[in-house]
Amino acid sequence: MNLEQICIEACACAKEAGDFIRKERINFNRDTVEVKSFNQLVSYVDKNAEELLVKRLHTIFPEAGFITEEDTIAKEVKEWMWVIDPLDGTTNFIHDLPVYSVSIGLIQNNKPMLGVVYEINRDELFYAWKNGGAYLNGSRIHVKENNDLGKALLATGFPYYDFKIMDQYLSALKHLMTHTQGMRRMGSAAVDLAYTACGRFDGFFEYGLSPWDVAGGICLIEEAGGIVKDFNGGDDVIFGRAILGSSKALYPGFAKVISEHFRS
């Protein structure tokens, strides 16, 4: 299994899908948007980009199955699975806000083995494979080695459809807003994870996420020297719907705050 070669080819797929998305944004018509459920939006751009990715990735690794956001291919559970978000940040895309990405993860028995996040507007390609390091446009990246939460810039995602633990979220947000250098909400979890991997953010947390939101970015942080856990310190970060990522130095203090506010 040559993960490096598979990653290189997956990067080319991500850029091809990103080029398609970039071109479609020029004359995009909001009337084409569909509502899957409350605040869950989709357009032909998401679906066509996903079909492109599925076709290309199947050629690269025919033995792998797929977990996809737009269900353009039936899920078939296998040892190896591609986990795809063809357009992470659809709401940003629809409103012409320039933060959205293509996210590709490859997992083996639910463990992240490879990740690609392509931020389309800045033409930034983040990628990593197990034990191979993490990269941005060909240059090695690392998490920021800061152990002081008071000096940290953190990222999060606001709840937009799952409001069951809104009070806990707002409590955590209030604490972090008053005990850090700031909070940012980009609108693409994949980008948040990639930016944490390269040190732009010191850490990221969010709940209510789906596997395709995070599968690409988890490997980036881990291979950049960081740590990714759920809110209780567990390893079910792909399917557990709650994620916290940072450097290993910052993690103890950051995780303590999150666990205090999001008690299981």
Residue 218: CB atoms within 10 Å: 25
> For position 71, what pLDDT does the model report?
74
Helix/strand/coil for 172? helix
> For position 39, what pLDDT does the model report?
47
Q: What is the dihedral of CA 132, 133, 139, 143, to 10 degrees?
A: 180
Query: Which is nearest to 127 in space by CA: 2, 217, 22, 248?
Result: 217
pTM of the predicted model as reported, rounded to 2 decimal places: 0.93
| CA 190 to chain centroid | 2
- CATH architecture under which domain 149-261 falls: 3-Layer(aba) Sandwich (3.40)
> For position 140, what pLDDT does the model report?
98
Using an 8 Å Cβ cutoff, are 198 and 121 in contact? no
Strands (E), 13-123: 34-37, 40-42, 65-68, 80-88, 101-108, 111-119
The ranges assigned to domains in the chain are: 3-140, 149-261
Rounded-to-integer distance, Cα 12 and Cα 15, Å: 5
- CATH architecture under which domain 3-140 falls: 2-Layer Sandwich (3.30)
List per-block mean pLDDT (blocks of 10 residues) for the chain, which spans 264 residues.
Answer: 95 97 89 66 84 96 91 82 95 93 97 97 98 98 96 90 81 94 96 98 95 96 98 92 96 95 76
Instruction: Mention every residue, 6+ apart, whose C-beta is less than 8 A from residue 131.
Output: 223
Using an 8 Å Cβ cutoff, are 89 and 96 in contact? no
Domains 3-140 and 149-261 belong to one CATH topology:
no
Strands of the sheet containing 203-207, edge to edge, are 182-184, 153-156, 203-207, 242-247, 226-229
**N- to C-terminal Cα distance for the chain?**
38
